[in-house]
C-alpha cells in the first residue's frame, strides 16, 4: 500500500496564491484519482476537488487540482486567498483501500 505525504503547514497572505502538495510513495499518482477535502475547525470535511481536478458545485473556481507524474504528486492550488480558506486540507486516494494524507494546515495571514 502507498502513503500520501503532505506538508504539515503552509501560509500566505489574503489575495495571494498557495499550493499544497501530496506526494504518493509508490505506484503512479495517475493510476488512481485524488480527492481534496477542506476541514474547518470543529466541522466535518467537505470535498473541494475530486477526481484530480474536478470541482463540486458550490466550490469557488479559486480552487483547482492537478497531478504531476514527474514528481508523482497531486497539488491543490487556491488563488485569491480569503481568510475563510484557513483550514486543514487533506488529500485522499484509493487503490483497493482508501488512503488519506496527513493533512496540511493552511494559515491565511
Partner 1 sequence: QITLKESGPTLVKPTQTLTLTCTFSGFSLASSGVGVGWIRQPPGKALEWLALIYWDDDVRYSPSLRNRLTITKDISKNQVVLSVTNVDPVDSGRYFCAHKDVTSVSNFDYWGQGTLVTVSS
Binding site for partner 1 (CB under 8 A): 1, 32-33, 35, 37, 39, 44-47, 50-51, 56, 90, 92-94, 96-103
**Nearer to partner 1 among residue 45 and residue 73 (C-beta):** 45
**Nearer to partner 1 among residue 70 and residue 98 (C-beta):** 98
Please state the closest distance from residue 23 (CB atom) to partner 1, in A. Answer: 15
Round to whole Å and give the CA distance between 26 and 38. Answer: 25
- Scan for cell 494524507, then name that residue: 101
Q: Contact, 65 vs 11, CB < 8 A?
A: no
Q: Contact, 34 vs 67, CB < 8 A?
A: yes
Please state the closest distance from residue 51 (CB atom) to partner 1, in A. Answer: 6
Round to whole Å and give the CA distance between 50 and 40. Answer: 18
**Nearer to partner 1 among residue 50 and residue 62 (C-beta):** 50
Amino acid at each position: 500500500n502507498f502513503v500520501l505525504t503532505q506538508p504539515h503547514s503552509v501560509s500566505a497572505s489574503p489575495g495571494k496564491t498557495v499550493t499544497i502538495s501530496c506526494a504518493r510513495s509508490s505506484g503512479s499518482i495517475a493510476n488512481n484519482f485524488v480527492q481534496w477535502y477542506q476541514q474547518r475547525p470543529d466541522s466535518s470535511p467537505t470535498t473541494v476537488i475530486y477526481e484530480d481536478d474536478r470541482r463540486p458545485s458550490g466550490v469557488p473556481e479559486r480552487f483547482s487540482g492537478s497531478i504531476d507524474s514527474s514528481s508523482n504528486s497531486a497539488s491543490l492550488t487556491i488563488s485569491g486567498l480569503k481568510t475563510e480558506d484557513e483550514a486543514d486540507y487533506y488529500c485522499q486516494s484509493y487503490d483497493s483501500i482508501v488512503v488519506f494524507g496527513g493533512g496540511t494546515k493552511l494559515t491565511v495571514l
